[in-house]
Amino acid sequence: MPIIAPSLLSANFLQLQNDCDMLNASEADWYHLDIMDGRFVPNISFGPMLVEFFKKATSKVCDVHLMIEEPEKFAEQFKNAGADILTVHIEACNHLHRNLQQIKSLGMKAGVAINPHTSVHLLEDVLADIDLVCLMSVNPGFGGQKFIPQTIEKIKQLRSMCNAKGLQTLIEIDGGVTLDNAASILSAGADVLVAGNTVFKSSNPLETIAKLKNL
């Protein structure tokens, strides 16, 4: 069964307690928090303070996606705020290997996200050190965008790279995941589905999460 990670970027920020209660009651495994700095991506979202509130209000795994420059400066703050998984962008890291060691030494799972233009083969030499690869299936910065179809081929490539090395690295797909494309994303080899709009803009988020979980 896939891991479902609703993205709270699409939640109603005036009713976050309701959305956290819904998450707790749902079949979601994780919740996904998008941190944007207005530099790495052309948008600003929220920081560690809100992560801390979510952590207190939810019982699921806290999956933090950093879309920020110099992520090493903030890893400890996000650990203290409650991140269980911390994902950095390969495009924002000059010393990715060092950043991954830092995240792990702080006691979190280490994720690497790659933009749509970045080849999965750039991960070859560091794959054994990564707990999760987040394949961006939209250009990061905004919720509610359309899934980029070439991602399917990238999932297959990454899955065979992991298999060839005998690695259990999780493959997460982030952006434009819908009830219509989720099955093909999973059959290409993905493990984790991030879903923002599909969950939070649906008339029944609880049911939508259940549908994604039981595809």
- Known catalytic residues are 34, 174
Among 144, 167, 184, 211, interactor with ligand DX5 by CB under 6 A: 144
- 16-25 and 205-213 helices cross at what angle (nearest 10)? 40
Under the criterion CB under 6 A, does residue 189 sit at the interface with ligand DX5? Answer: no
Under the criterion CB under 6 A, does residue 19 sit at the interface with ligand DX5? Answer: no
Among 2, 176, 189, 205, interactor with ligand DX5 by CB under 6 A: 176
Comparing CB distances to Zn ion, the nearer of 65 and 203 is: 65
CB of 145 to ligand DX5, least distance (A): 5
Under the criterion CB under 6 A, does residue 194 sit at the interface with ligand DX5? Answer: yes
Under the criterion CB under 6 A, does residue 9 sit at the interface with ligand DX5? Answer: yes
Comparing CB distances to ligand DX5, the nearer of 120 and 173 is: 173
- Contact flags string 64-103 toward ligand DX5, x per CB under 6 A: -x--------------------------------------
Residues that bind ligand DX5 (CB under 6 A): 7, 9-10, 32, 34, 65, 138, 140-145, 174-177, 194-198
Residues at the site binding Zn ion, with contacts judged by CB under 5 A: 34, 65, 174
